[in-house]
Structure 1
Amino acid sequence: MSRTDLAWLVFAGIVAGFMLLPIASLLVLALEPTGDIWEHLIGTVLPRSLVTTALLMLGVGAITLVVGVGTAWLVTMCRFPGQRIFDWALLIPLAVPTYIVAYSYVEVLNYTGPVQTAIRAVFGFQTSREYWFPEIRSLGGAIFVMGLVLYPYVYLTTRATFLLQSACTLDVSRTLGAGPMRLFFQVALPLARPAIVVGMSLAMMECLNDIGAVTFFGVKTMTFSVYDTWVNRSSLAGAAQLACTMLVIVFALLWLERHARRKQRFHVTTTRYIGLPSYRLTGARAWAAWAACAAPIALGFAVPAWPLVDYISRRFDALTDPRLLDATWNSLTLSLSAAIMTIVVATVLTYAQRVNRNAGIRFLGRTASIGYAIPGTVLAVGLLVPLAAFDNALDGVTERLFGFGTGLLIVGSGAALVYAYVARFLAVAYGQVEGGLGKVTPHLDMAARTLGRNSLTTLREVHLPLIRPVLLSAMLLAFVDCMKELPATILLRPFNFETLATTVYNAASRGAFEDGALPALLIVLVGLVPVILLARTSAATFRDRRGSRVS
């Protein structure tokens, strides 16, 4: 092994260590005594939080399952008006953070909102006691809202599996008399089960991470309990112990996802790709399919965007608000810095794996990218103590040697947020960079070596130019995820430091959602660009593959 190759291995180990530091710190912190607060947490907080979290995740899982799988089957196997538009448009709700959808729905469905106002006007009701209307600020409301935003995870993975299923298998099923419903339930659905479980696991982990929507709805999940124990009860050790409980739930979801794919391998035994058999819908069935696909887009994107646009149309003066400009600048600089760092770290880990082909380096890369499964509140608890300890130690050293202190250099400057973003969203970039490098033939590495290039020069001159589109795509997705991240931002931001996400959260918390409408819309618009690009690119790729014939 050359010095350069060894350096890649060491560097990858150091990077992986930094990514795993929050978990190690959390476990150590959880061992500290908590006094009598843990008895209170076990007796009152933990059981209720566990039950509420379980119900929320089950409810969201059910909605994402039905909507995601149903719409994926319709746009893949049926032909009806607007089908090709729905093919990519069904991913659009993924661009809207759950907390923004929650705030918008409260504005639309509360007592003074347009829906209840119209009901009272039509039926002549004078007070809310004269009619029944579901309470949006409830567990049911949280399940409804999160399901509308998170179903694209299931839709994306399931649609991909339906598109890649063997046309021969489906044709044989049809020749044996299987109708559309039987073909779906007995053939296509079992084949897609691993992909469905993957999508549901992602949706449930995002559900577990949420703090903005559940706080606004008054739903006391595990995430809320960690935040409440840390901030309101001033017990970091108690929050760490609750966070460890959340980690158990997360790892259980990961195990479930892996177990669902255990020993399940499906292969296409022919090299001839043909278009999948499809059903052309007409009349009422066609319009029913159109409505089934349009409803999630309308409820998950159009309805939440409506009050935002309405508020902004009446408050154009907010565009020049210095606080909004500061929050926008903070969000852009933090997110861009974290996205660039994420790409650098992902490239180091994946290229070290390419240079040193052994199980150890693969384990480092996969383990370091587990942060995406860790809720932001858990990550924040695990990062605060080591970073604060480093800040205090550095401050003491500079005070003794140079006569001045550095203060909270990392925690107080926003660097802690960049660290948290990179640790949380590394998996987003790692998977894409790994896939991009995997498509570059190893013969190029060998050719570069024969020309006297070492691994670093080969990366710079050969691989990076070839995978530049992948790097840009991964950086864009990481950037958007950082812009939307709320739990870690709330807990790790410096004093008097606001981002667009925290501005929206603060405005909604004090009951002035109109003040947060413009920053909320900015977050949505930033998120729309990569989601639409991703959706249209994947749709075009699959259409090309389905339409091609390879002999």
Structure 2
Amino acid sequence: MILGLARSWSLAGYAVAALLVLPLFALIFQALQPDEAVFGHLLATVLPTYIRNSLLLILGVSLGSLLLAIPCAWLIARCEFFGRRYLQWALLLPLAMPGYIVAYVYTDLLDYAGPVQRSLRSIFGWSSPQDYFFPDIRTLGGAICMLSLVLFPYIYLLARTAFMEQSLSLAHASRIMGCSPWQSFWRLSLPMARPALAVGVALVAMETAADFATVSYFAVPTLTTAVYDTWLGYGNLTAAAKLSAIILLVVFSLIGFERFARRKQQLFQKQSRIQATDLYPLTAVQTAVALSFCCTLLLFAFVLPFSILLSYAIGYFEQSWDERFWQLSVNSLSLALITSLICCLIALLLMFVRRSSPRPSDALPSRLASMGYALPGTVLAIGVLVPLTMLDFAINDVADVMGIKGPGLILTGSVVALIFAFCVRFVAIAIGSVENSYKRISPSLDMVSLTMGQSPRQLLWRVHFPLLAKGLFSGALLVFIESMKELPAALLLRPIGFENLATYVFQFVSDEKLEHGALAAVVIVLVGLVPLIYLNRSLEQHS
């Protein structure tokens, strides 16, 4: 009886995983279809430029994020100085800022008509652009800077944890052998933190490849913007799928190259918790330098853009606070709530199958389902459109055969496509959260429950669920925030006449009228700060 139930749960897990991985296989299938017209034209003209810009953007943002994150992570993890306790969580705040909003704010500040250049012309008496040189922010380099400012916390968080968990005996040995704190960092701590840094860089690379709004606003042609333009401009799904496949190839190649480079590297160390007495005390001058670096980074990455955004929201509050704003908020909240609920249910099912089944192969569904997180929003949208469009046509064809009126585009013409895309992309977050919670549940509880005659369903509901509640809530919260911020998939898959806060803000950003959408942008940022509060509590517990 138990074996039969286990098999039914396992089959359910495989079915859900197959559904979630379907867009990836549909995308590959569509990309293999012949298309000589649009894609051939792109290949002969602008595709090399798209690929070059995409690679330069990913590499530039990865390198920039590393240069910003590693010094902060080392200072916070291994040094003692004034303000360290507050900076350890404040440096996570830029994660709440969408890149395209930061890009608009700095463009408004630094453009020729912006306050910075106006002040320079007033001070030095310059009258035209020919009188002085000022770098153009709306370039590939500007996009790299903007994305580095908002993505470096991914690497900072992982690097900080890695530095804190490194063996103290090795650090003490390096100091006994005459190494300075800098030499100890360069020769010992940094190489040992490489696996964590690699994971952080992979996350940054995936987020950079997924970015559409920032590069679109800066008019930097990349593969992501090419997918958007090919689908909406040319209406060619096959060419868009081919471009999407190239994006996947770029992302997976970079990740695979890094793993190949460290394939023979092995690290064994005894982890220990850093105590206050183990931190390097900084001198007054060193403290000033550390504070200057961290505070300047925080200023430009979060404080300044959020302050300007807040001033816009206050100034245009009366124009923004209307019935449409409430409808947009309801749309965003509804999508995010439904997505987070479905993702948590899927994560609970897949991780329960993985834990309770004696077959190692039953770990496969959760791994397959997590692959969607690597899909950029534009790529995912194409992958979702292919199977849902085919299913819509099939439903209408069956209706015609039966002599009844077809229901129309009930999937691709509704929010069903959006919810499905969000679930495919963000279920990995919920799976990770539930997996971490499952690690704290002793297997002996399962044995006792089964011995007492509990069925797998009763075991899940009466034993596991109460113990997983906190992890489920955390996962739901993170999925909720990501769903509120997701833009590329929403732009491509939204039904006609449907908008949420993210698409609403981007519309004003594209028209260079962010002031009118600033209130919605502030809401997105404030909602994004919620999970950072949880991270802050976790960091304080380990400090």
Q: TM-score, normalised by structure 2?
A: 0.96
CA deviations over 1:158-197 (Å, ceiling 9, x no partner): 1010010011110011000000110010010010011111
Q: Which residue of 2 aligns with 1:169?
A: 170
Q: Is the 8 A contact 1:92 1:532 kept in 2?
A: no
- Give 5+ residue unaligned stretches, structure 1: 544-551
CA 1:270 to 1:10, structure 2 compared with 1: closer, same or farther past 3 Å? closer
CA distance in 2, matches of 1:406, 1:315: 42
AA matched with 1:34: D
Residues 281, 435 of structure 1: CA spacing in aligned structure 2 closer, same or farther, 3 A cutoff? same
Q: Which amino acid aligns with 1:444?
A: L
Residue 511 of structure 1 and its aligned partner are, at CA, apart by: 2.3
Deviates more, 1:201-210 or 1:358-367: 358-367
In 2, Cα distance between equivalents of 1:275 and 1:531: 24
- 1:538 to 2:538 alignment: yes
Task: Tell me, in whole angstroms, the C-alpha distance in 1 between the residues paired with 2:411 and 2:276.
Answer: 55
The amino acid of 1:15's aligned partner reads V
Q: Which moved more, 1:267-276 or 1:514-523?
A: 267-276
Q: Return 25-34 or 395-404, whichever deviates more.
A: 395-404
**Closer, same or farther: CA 399–333 of 1 in aligned 2, 3 Å:** farther
Say which is worse superposed, 20-29 or 301-310, in terms of deviation: 301-310
Is 1:430 aligned to 2:438, yes or no?
Answer: no
Alignment check: 8 A CA contact 1:250 1:374 kept: no
Q: Distance in 2 between matches of 1:34 and 1:481?
A: 34
- Counterpart for residue 383 of structure 2: 382
Q: 2:502: which partner in 1? A: 501
In 2: Cα distance, 1:6 partner to 1:304 partner? 53
Query: How high is the sequence identity, in percent, across the aligned residues?
Result: 40
CA contact (8 A) 1:377 1:487 kept: yes
Instruction: Give the Cα–Cα distance (whole angstroms) in 2 for the partners of residues 532 and 467 of structure 1.
Output: 20
Alignment correspondent of 1:121:
122
Distance 2:344 2:264 in 1: 33
CA contact (8 A) 2:317 2:519 kept: no
Mapped contact 1:34–1:235 kept (Cα < 8 A): no
Q: Shift in Å at residue 275 of structure 1? A: 5.6
Aligned to 2:472: 471
1:335 match? 336
Which residue is 2:101 aligned to? 100
| Match in the other structure for 1:189 | 190
Q: Per the alignment, do residues 351 and 402 of structure 1 end up closer, same or farther by CA in structure 2, a change over 3 Å counting?
A: farther
Equivalent residues of 1:318, 1:324 under 8 A apart: no
Q: What is the match of residue 326 of structure 1? A: 327
Taking only aligned residues, the RMSD between alpha carbons, in angstroms, comes to 1.8
What CA distance in whole angstroms lies between the structure 1 residues aligned with 2:277 and 2:26? 51
**Alignment correspondent of 1:549:** none
**Alpha-carbon separation, structure 2, partners of 1:254 and 1:16:** 23
User: Cα distance 1:32–1:503, how it changes in 2: closer, same or farther (>3 A)?
Assistant: same
Tell me, yes or no, if the aligned pair for 1:346 and 1:433 is still in contact at 8 Å. yes
Q: How far apart, CA to CA, are the structure 2 residues paired with 1:542 and 1:272?
A: 8
CA contact (8 A) 2:226 2:243 kept: yes
Deviations 1:140-170 (A, max 9, x none): 1100000000001110111010010011110
Match of 2:242 in 1: 241
Provide the secondary structure at the position in 1 that maps to 2:46.
helix
Q: Is residue 387–residue 410 contact of structure 1 (8 Å, CA) maintained in 2?
A: yes
How big is the shift at 1:313?
1.8
Report the Cα offset of residue 415 of structure 1: 1.0
Aligned partner letter, 2:370: S
Equivalent residues of 1:343, 1:474 under 8 A apart: yes
Cα shift readout 1:80-105 (whole Å, capped 9, x = no counterpart)? 11111111111110111111111221
Q: Show the counterpart of 2:223.
A: 222
Cα–Cα, structure 1 residues 24 and 246, in superposed 2: closer, same or farther, change >3 Å?
same
- 1:548 alignment partner in structure 2: none
Match of 2:356 in 1: 355
Q: 1:439 to 1:263 in 2, by over 3 A?
A: farther
For residues 429 and 270 of structure 1, the distance between their equivalents in structure 2, rounded to whole angstroms, comes to: 27
Note the C-alpha offset of 1:469: 0.9
CA distance in 2, matches of 1:482, 1:270: 36
**Cα distance in 2 between the residues matched to 1:267 and 1:540:** 27
CA drift of 1:283 comes to 2.0
Residue 398 of structure 1 deviates from its aligned partner by 4.6
What does residue 547 of structure 1 align with? none
Unaligned runs of 5+ in 2: none
What amino acid maps onto 1:218 in structure 2? Answer: A
Q: Deviation at 1:401?
A: 5.0
- 1:293-316 C-alpha deviation (Å, 9 max, x unpaired): 112211111121122112112112
Q: Cα 1:358–1:541, aligned 2, differ >3 Å: closer, same or farther?
A: farther
Q: Is the 8 A contact 1:167 1:274 kept in 2?
A: no
Letter in structure 1 aligned against 2:455: N
Which digits, 9 at most, give the CA deviation of each residue in 1:221-263, with x for residues without a partner?
Answer: 1111111111112211111111111111122133245445535
Secondary structure in 1 matching 2:278: coil
**Distance (Å, rounded) in 2 between the aligned partners of 1:347 and 1:155:** 30
Cα distance between partner residues in 1 of 2:11 and 2:4:
10
In the alignment of these two chains, the number of paired residues is 542
Paired amino acid for 1:442? P
Question: Which residue in the other structure is 2:180 paired with?
Answer: 179
Q: Match for residue 282 of structure 1?
A: 283
Cα gap change, 1:316 to 1:482, in 2 (>3 Å): same
Q: Superposed, which structure 2 residues align to 1:386-405 within 5 Å?
A: 386-398=387-399, 401=402, 403-405=404-406
Tell me whether 1:12 sits opposite 2:4 in the alignment: no
Runs of 4+ in 1 over 3 A off after TM superposition: 256-276, 395-405
Measure the CA separation in 2 of the matches of 1:322 and 1:127: 44
SS in 2 for 1:132: coil
1:540 partner amino acid? E
1:395 to partner: Cα distance: 3.4
Contact 1:171 1:277 in 2 (8 A): no
Indicate whether 1:409 and 2:410 are aligned. Answer: yes
In the superposition, relative to structure 1, how do residues 359 and 41 fare at CA in structure 2: closer, same or farther (>3 Å)?
farther
Partner-residue secondary structure (3-state), 1:453:
coil
How has the CA–CA distance of structure 1 residues 266 and 320 changed in structure 2, closer, same or farther, with 3 Å as cutoff? Answer: same
Q: Which letter does structure 2 place at the counterpart of 1:168? A: S
Which residue number corresponds to residue 367 of structure 2? 366
Does the CA contact (< 8 Å) of 2:373 and 2:426 recur in 1?
A: yes
Q: CA deviation at 1:34?
A: 1.4
CA-CA distance at 1:287 after TM superposition: 0.8
8 Å Cα contact 2:164/2:273 also seen in 1: no
SS at match of 1:498: coil
